[in-house]
Every structure is written in C-alpha cells, then in structure tokens.
Structure 1
C-alpha cells in the first residue's frame, strides 16, 4: 500500500514541504513515514521517531483518549478524528499539538492494508496564551467577585451583559436578574437626560463619571456614582462599555446635612440680629396695646383689639423661634426617659388627635436607655406630631416607634397623611418654606437645629398619598 504513495511523488513532496507535522501510519500504529516539520516539532530525527513510536512520545494523560479514537478508526466506526493532545519533546518539555487523523482505505476494505494519515499542528504557543489569558480572566473574576464596587459590562446600546455580585448589596437584584435588561430602565426619570449611551446623546467622549439615582428592587432610589469607559476595537467601533459604580447615598446625605448645618448657621446669625431688633419695639407695642384694650370700657373694639394682640403674640412667637436658630440653648442637659417624654407629648395631642380622627399608636422597645438631653427636645416631638396630625384631615393611624440600635436611639414618627411631593422634599427645612396655609416654615428648621445641638440627625421620607416618616437619631451617652 505504501508503494501507492511512493508512486505519487507530488504527495510526498507536499508532505516534505508542509509546515505542519505529517505522519503515515499502518493500521497497527507503526510509523511508515514522517515529514521534517514533525521531526522539528518533537526534536527527533525521522529514524528516532520511527523506532520510538508515537505512543511513546505521547503524554500519558492523553494516551487513552487517543488510542480509543484510533481503534474506532481502525474498526471503520469513524472516518477520522481530531483532538488536542500533548507530546514529549526530546528535551523533556511538553508540546501541544492539534492532531487530525484520517484513514486511506484500500479496495479490499478495512481488513486490508489501510494507511492512516496523521496531521499535527503545533499549538504550543496558542496554549500558552490561552493559559495566560485564563489566569488573567481568573484574576479579573476574583477582583469582580469580591469588589465592593459593582462592575457592569454593557453593549453599546446599554444592555447589561455582565454584572458583579456587588450589585446585590447596592440595588437588591441578583446579577442574573439584570442580564439582558437595559441599564436605563433602573435610572431615575429625572436623570435620563444625562444618559450617555442613548441615541440622543452627542457626547463623543470615551469615559465619563456619572452621579445618578438607581431604583432599588424594593422601589426606593439610591445615589450611585459610576466611572464608565467605552471599549473600542481596532476599527474604532464600540465593542462594549465597562462601568464601575458604588452606592454613595450616605455620602450624599452627609453632604446634605453639612449644607443644612451651614444654612442653619447662616440663618442663625441673621436671625440673632433681626430678633433682638424686633423684640424691643414689640414689647412696647404689646404694652400699649394692653393699655388701649383697658380704655375700651364698652368693649366695642374688643374683636379688633384681640386680633391685633393675637398677631403681636404671633410675631413674638416667630421671634422666639428665630432666637433658637441664632445659637444653641444655654440650658443644661440631664438624663431623661425617652419613653416617658414621648408619652407626655402624646397626651398633649390626644384632644387634637380625636378632633382629626387620628389614632396614635406607640411601639417602644423594652428597657430603652436614658438619654442626655435638654428640655428643648420636647419641642422637636411637639412640632413633628403637630405636623403629622394636621397632615391627616381625613384621619388615620399615627405610629410612634422607638428602638435602640448599636449606640443610638431611633425614633420614627409615621403618619398616613397626604405626603410631600418629591420636588418639594429638598426644600424641607428651608427658612419660611411650609406646605401649610398658616405655617411659618420655622418649626421644622428649629427642630433640626435642636437635634443638631444634641449631635443627632433628622431624616424625612415622604410619598404622596401614603404619608410621611420623620426619623430622629440620637446618640446614647455612655
């Protein structure tokens, strides 16, 4: 059968010149002919390889698979096979080869002198690169899986193709729930004008830093900061976009608290000057007004006089609130029972609550510690409860909760009132801003200043039609 190939000089010359390794094998596996490329790949001469045999040069872990496929070929069950396998170089190093084996059947069928042609492509360098890439990929996966920042891969049109597990802690979704979704589906509607990958956006830059709001699985929004970069191919086309982002909600809230604190300080300085200038003539006005009322013996001007005196008292009340904003109270602090304090304030509003058909319910943890505070803390809860009851003209449940968490006491007052529109939430606490027809807008600002003086914080959450929750956090002094 071999003579059949020797008669075909063109075939032999092709084998000799081929850049890939070629071996002619008999059906018993012995080597009949080997070309120079295979000899060069394995480091042996042709005679050495013929004497050694291909099996001896094969890595032991790949030998069984190769022999199984070889026997299937010899039995005529397959016409050929292809596998990646390892060979031993003469120096002892390992070479990877892509082996492709086919059978040349004679006219007598598979029981005759068939010859098998083995072609072996050296893929050692390719395997090394694959291994290096695998190590890099494992490192990237390790970083992605354990990074506190969420790593997201997007298509050029903003569809999510990969997201790291950190997203779970940020917006509550499992990574698999986001694959195939468009990232802008989770953006706050007001932030979509900054959508970098939208068709309407003409920004040509390849990298951007975004600060926007993302919708949590529970429905609320978090503040998110992300550094995004477009990845392009050699032709300059965008292949995908990589984004690394983190939850900055606490940072935004802290910055807002600082702004409010600075605003309170500025208003306080202004209020101090105004209040003192107003209070002196106001005292004189009230005194003369009381004398004028005594002169009205027949009482014909009583209604007008009462209105004027009431308005003077209202001005005096506003001046008093301005003075609270001006500087912290000099009143000494003492240990107080928070539950007793809240119960006292609740009893003050029982009449007004009944008038509005509001049911006040308390949920206090047992054995709450005493807190170091001034009596002015009462004013905070009076202001908040008064606002809560007045926000429920149709009645409803007003829930007051108190609990200890770590080194703080958390007091939550939740009403079922009309709620505050989101566009007005940023104005809450500003001087003279109020949602009530008769309010001054100073009550909440004064409350915030009192809580600030106690080194605490006040947070407000509201939704139109569902109500408002005010949370006061006070530190426990050990």
Structure 2
C-alpha cells in the first residue's frame, strides 16, 4: 500500500506539471499568432502606404489595424506641423466605452483638433523608437487646453501607455499613441516600430522624390533584414527579388532564387496545390495564412505559412514564415495533452477535475464512472454535493478549507456514495492546477473498500481462530467429566428410589447435551480444524438435506423456493457443507414472519460456484452488519451467537467467501466457492 501511495503521489505531481507546461505552450502559440497577424498587415499595406500621396492617406483604418494587432485599449494617430509647432489628431480608434468617456469628459471629440506643441513633445518623440509614457501628463502635455485635467486611470482601467514618433531624417512628422488595457504589455515592439517607420515614410511622400527614394531604400533595408522570407514575383511566377531570409529558408543564394519560378520551390506532389493558390492570389489580390511545405536545396521539407498580396506595379509580394518551431510547439502541446489524457483516463484511481471556484466537475476518468456506476453526462457540470456524493455532509467544506490553507490534500480517508447508494471507502488526494489561467482541482480517490472489508474479514477470522484454539484446548478436558456426569445421571435416573426425580435428571442430561453441542460449535469455527475434502457436487449435498429443510419450513409456517442450475463439481466436505446450508436456512426462517418465502439457489458464474439463501425478513440494521459472523454476537433472545460464526469458519476452510446484501425487503447470504483450488487438505 505504501508503494502504491508513493507512485500515485508521483503521478499527481507529474500530471500537475503537464498541465503547467500546456499553459506555457499555449502562451507561446498565442505570441506566434500575433506576430503572424502583424506580418500579414505589413505585407499587405506597407507598399501601398509608400505610394499614397500625403493628402490621401486614410489614417482611421491604420489606427484600427494597429488597435487590432496590438490588442490595445486605444490608438491615436497625430501629425505634426513643424513650422507651426502644432499637432493634429488624425485618427482615434479604441474600445467604444473608453472613447465615449473621453468625449464626455473633454466635451468634444479629439479627432480633427489642432493642439499646440511644446519642447517636451519633441524630446519624447525625436528618436523614432517606442517609448513608455509615464502617465497622462506626458501623454497630453501641460499646455493642451481643456485636456490637461483628464486622468485616464480614473475614467477607465488602463495599463501602460506607449508612444512612438513618426520620424524621417531627424524630422518629427507625427506620432502614434498606444494605450494598453490594465495588466497587459505591448509585446510586438519591433513590429510596431516597423509599422511606424512605414507610416512615417508615407507621411513624407509629399516632400520630394528624393525622400521617397530614401524611404523605399529604408523599406528595402527592412525587407533585407526581416527574419521571415520575402519573395517578389511576376505574374508568370518568376522571382525578381528575395531577401536573405529566403536564402536561409531554402538553402539557395539570391542569384539561384532569381533564376527560379514558383513551381520550383515546393515538393513535386504539392506543385499543383501551390499554383492553385497563386492563381487565387491573382484573382482575389490577397492570400492569407496558407500552410504548406517548401523543399530545401538539400531535399528536406520545410513547413511554412505563406501570406501574399498584389503590389501596385502588378507584382506579387509574398512572405513565408518558417513554422517548424511552431509545429514543434504544437506537437509538444499535442503530446503533453495526449500523455495527460492517457495518464488521467488509464489511472485505476477515481479521478476528476473540478472548477475550484464553482465546484463543478469538468471531467472524470473511466475508473470514476465504472466504480461509481455513472454515465459521463450525469456528472459533467455538476457539483459533488448535487450528486449526493458525500456520506458526511461536512466533508467537502472541510476539504476545501484545507486546500485553501495548505494548497493540497493527501490521503484523507473519506466515505462516498455511488449512484446506487452503496458506500465506498477511499483515500482522497487533491492538488490545485491551472487551466486557461483559472484555478481547478485535480482530485484522486483511491478506492480502499475491498481493503477495508478484507481488514474486517481478517479480524473476524482471527476471532474465529482464537475461539477454535480455545475450544480445541479445553474441549477434551471438559467433555470427559461431562460424559462421566451424564452416565451417572442416567444410572441414577433408572433407580427405583430416584424415579420421582426423573424430570430433574432428564433436564440435567438435556443441559449437558446442550453444553456438549456448544463445544462442538466451538470446534466448528476453528480455522485450523482438520478437514477432509472430496470433489463432489453442491447440488447433490443440497438434494440430500432438502427433506430436512422442507420439514423446518413447514414447522415454521414458511414457504420454500429452491432453484438449482448445473454447477461443476468442486472440492467440498459434505458434513460441513450440510451444516453451512442448515445454519443459513434456519437463520433465514427465524428472520421472517409466518408466510414468508425462503429462496435457495445454486448457480455457476465466471468459473465459480455460488450458494445463495435469501429471506423476506426486515433486513439487518446497518449498525450491526460489521458484527455479523463475530463469535458470540447474536440479536436473538436465545442461542450462542456461533451459528454464523460457524458458517464463516467453514467458508474459510473451503477457501470460500461469504457476502451479504440486506435491505427492508430481506437479506441474502451468498457463498462463493472456487472450482479449482491449489490443494486439498
């Protein structure tokens, strides 16, 4: 038992560790997804922004895209007029409730407003790098009329505030302001800086062709240094440009790539699929998040995710992200979930996962359903208290307090009901785990009902053994003088002068006989009593004593029902089995009111032979069930309390097991014999 408990404790720790690893992998996968979304927007919008005339730039979609990609609470786009030292709010995107509060407190919408700018603005944004703003004072600046009194922390639950200048050649053209929700950081800083650079280039479009050329060169530099592969192709599929990341991805140098066409880079079996997607790009103008396989120069396969768009010159720009790491993460996540699921469902312990806050069950394993006789839909989203799970109503509250205090519960002995109302004894252990960031409870119950029953049986057999040893030790010494006394009483009872006392002599002889029968019963309960076995049929023994049983039933004004099925022969001691059957039958007859039916049945199941005796009495009280079979225990006003003890002793010598079922409708004793035993004594 100690080894089993240690193994189960280790299993619980490993399963809790698996769950934590799963949460970490989920976070990594979410980060990859967000970066991919940002990359897609860059590939679709960057070239377009570079071609927009300054006056035609639509800032609101830009603000909305940035809001979506960063998960921000609010994004503002401002342009700066250097000569006038004034800024104009061009676009404002954010959560509706937040924007309504801003307008309500300011008394106007910031969009389209022109603000005076001080030196602090220039110092803050001149680097063109993303900076963290300390608070509303830096965000709004002390000389902006009507807004310096606003406090975002008071009007909404805000988190960190970031700003980045739209800078070209040391000139500030404007800025982006990003307000994050409480508790959330801006993750994609490098992507936002690239986005801001592209937007700055767009704002500079109206300055000069030279500026535009430099912007394009900067854009190309960004492409050259971008970590994902970027390809530019003509409508016939021929590559006309590729960045170093493309060479690293596929193993070809740039010159080799520029001699290749789109069908040259996937495996032969995927060429048709790839070209179909290229035709889709030509028709729709965009291709998003297409997962496929490209072939490396060395012949190995590289899983990638492709996004593409149409450039203004009629060219096609595509990005290919190496997703081997993501696939590895997904595979690790899948394997972790699979291992957890296997361990959870294959465990012999009764296991369940509960929402710690609500107490509702979100999953149980097969052992739980099998042992407690439930269907899965009967327990999911239910509380254990709703299932009438606990024998002691105070148990769940006590366990919860212990977990809150200590964080865990280990091997707490509990009593629980199954769906039929049968009581099980278990060792309850539980640990907190986190699923999707929420507290849950991983609980395990090791069912020790059979072990507890075995303990009771061992204690009962030990008592039988003790009684047997005592009887064997003193039986001979007591019986010898009793035999002498009985003989003398018989002799005296026949003398003429003692005839008038014959009634007393007969009574004394009867009591001596009764004492002798008690000694015989003592000897019968002895576990180590020598017993001779012979392979024979249980039905044949029952048939021989059936007339005696019928006579007992008639005398007790009861009815008898006997049903025997074909059963295999088994090693038995006929004399002891007769006594076993008669004791069980007479107990059943004594338990019923007049007119009751006593059922005797024999049958075979799973290679074992069964004898069942069922009465229609009022049943046995739960408080005394554990005492049944204990020597000298009886609920009758007469008797020795050795009848059932004798039955248990006989069963033990036959390597058989006695079980009972009881209720208001009666009691059934079943004796289970093994057909083949290792040896006969």
d(CA) in 1 for partners of 2:430, 2:390: 23
d(CA) in 1 for partners of 2:435, 2:377: 31
Aligned to 1:68: 276
- Tell me, yes or no, if the aligned pair for 1:59 and 1:85 is still in contact at 8 Å: no
Query: Quick check: 65-74 or 381-390, which moved more?
Result: 65-74
Aligned to 1:56: 264
Aligned to 1:230: 431
Q: Alpha carbons of 1:141 and 1:390: their partners in 2 closer, same or farther (altered >3 Å)?
A: same
Q: What whole-Å deviation, never above 9, does each CA across 1:199-250 have from its counterpart, x for those lacking one?
A: 2435726473466666556664566667x563646999855526485x6665
Aligned to 2:406: 204
- Tell me, yes or no, if the aligned pair for 1:210 and 1:225 is still in contact at 8 Å: yes
In the alignment, which of 8, 16, 20 is matched to residue 228 of structure 2? 20
Aligned to 1:99: 306
> Which structure carries more helix by proportion?
2
Aligned to 1:123: 323
Deviation, 1:461, is: 1.6
Deviation, 1:84, is: 2.0
- Is 1:261 aligned to 2:456, yes or no? no
- Is 1:416 aligned to 2:616, yes or no? yes
d(CA) in 2 for partners of 1:418, 1:321: 27
Matching of residues 63-462 of structure 1 within 5 Å: 63-76=271-284, 79-104=286-311, 113-135=313-335, 147=346, 149=348, 152-155=351-354, 157=356, 159-165=360-366, 170-173=371-374, 178-182=379-383, 189-190=390-391, 198-202=399-403, 204=406, 206=408, 208-209=410-411, 220=422, 228=429, 230=431, 232=433, 239-241=440-442, 243=444, 252-273=452-473, 314-326=514-526, 338-354=538-554, 356-366=556-566, 368-369=568-569, 371-393=571-593, 395-405=595-605, 408-453=608-653, 455-462=654-661
Q: CA RMSD in A?
A: 4.5
Aligned to 2:672: 473
In the alignment, which of 253, 260, 283 is matched to residue 45 of structure 1? 253
Deviation, 1:465, is: 0.4
d(CA) in 1 for partners of 2:406, 2:570: 59
Deviation, 1:444, is: 0.7
d(CA) in 1 for partners of 2:594, 2:279: 88
Q: Alpha carbons of 1:172 and 1:232: their partners in 2 closer, same or farther (altered >3 Å)?
A: closer
- Tell me, yes or no, if the aligned pair for 1:156 and 1:197 is still in contact at 8 Å: no
Q: Alpha carbons of 1:206 and 1:89: their partners in 2 closer, same or farther (altered >3 Å)?
A: farther
Q: What whole-Å deviation, never above 9, does each CA across 1:301-324 have from its counterpart, x for those lacking one?
A: 97x998877666544443332233
Q: Alpha carbons of 1:368 and 1:80: their partners in 2 closer, same or farther (altered >3 Å)?
A: closer
Aligned to 1:109: none
- Tell me, yes or no, if the aligned pair for 1:392 and 1:416 is still in contact at 8 Å: yes
Deviation, 1:388, is: 0.7
Deviation, 1:443, is: 0.9
SS in 1 for 2:259: helix
Q: Alpha carbons of 1:221 and 1:91: their partners in 2 closer, same or farther (altered >3 Å)?
A: same
Deviation, 1:366, is: 3.3
d(CA) in 2 for partners of 1:235, 1:161: 13
Larger Rg: 2
- Is 1:464 aligned to 2:663, yes or no? yes
- Tell me, yes or no, if the aligned pair for 1:171 and 1:214 is still in contact at 8 Å: no
SS in 2 for 1:52: coil
Deviation, 1:123, is: 1.8
Q: Alpha carbons of 1:191 and 1:281: their partners in 2 closer, same or farther (altered >3 Å)?
A: farther
- The TM-score, its normalising length taken from structure 1, stands at 0.76
- Tell me, yes or no, if the aligned pair for 2:615 and 2:668 is still in contact at 8 Å: yes
- Unpaired segments of 5 or more residues in structure 1? 107-112
- The TM-score, its normalising length taken from structure 2, stands at 0.56
- Tell me, yes or no, if the aligned pair for 2:614 and 2:666 is still in contact at 8 Å: yes
Deviation, 1:33, is: 3.5
- Tell me, yes or no, if the aligned pair for 2:242 and 2:254 is still in contact at 8 Å: yes
SS in 1 for 2:400: coil
Q: Alpha carbons of 1:281 and 1:197: their partners in 2 closer, same or farther (altered >3 Å)?
A: same
Deviation, 1:383, is: 1.0
d(CA) in 1 for partners of 2:605, 2:462: 28
- Tell me, yes or no, if the aligned pair for 1:400 and 1:411 is still in contact at 8 Å: yes
- Tell me, yes or no, if the aligned pair for 1:275 and 1:319 is still in contact at 8 Å: yes
SS in 2 for 1:22: strand
Q: Alpha carbons of 1:357 and 1:63: their partners in 2 closer, same or farther (altered >3 Å)?
A: farther
d(CA) in 1 for partners of 2:623, 2:541: 34
- Unpaired segments of 5 or more residues in structure 2? 1-46, 53-211
Q: What whole-Å deviation, never above 9, does each CA across 1:258-317 have from its counterpart, x for those lacking one?
A: 333222112222344565676567668778988699989779x97x99887766654444
Q: Alpha carbons of 1:83 and 1:176: their partners in 2 closer, same or farther (altered >3 Å)?
A: farther
SS in 1 for 2:328: helix
- Tell me, yes or no, if the aligned pair for 1:27 and 1:114 is still in contact at 8 Å: yes
- Tell me, yes or no, if the aligned pair for 1:167 and 1:174 is still in contact at 8 Å: no
Aligned to 1:110: none
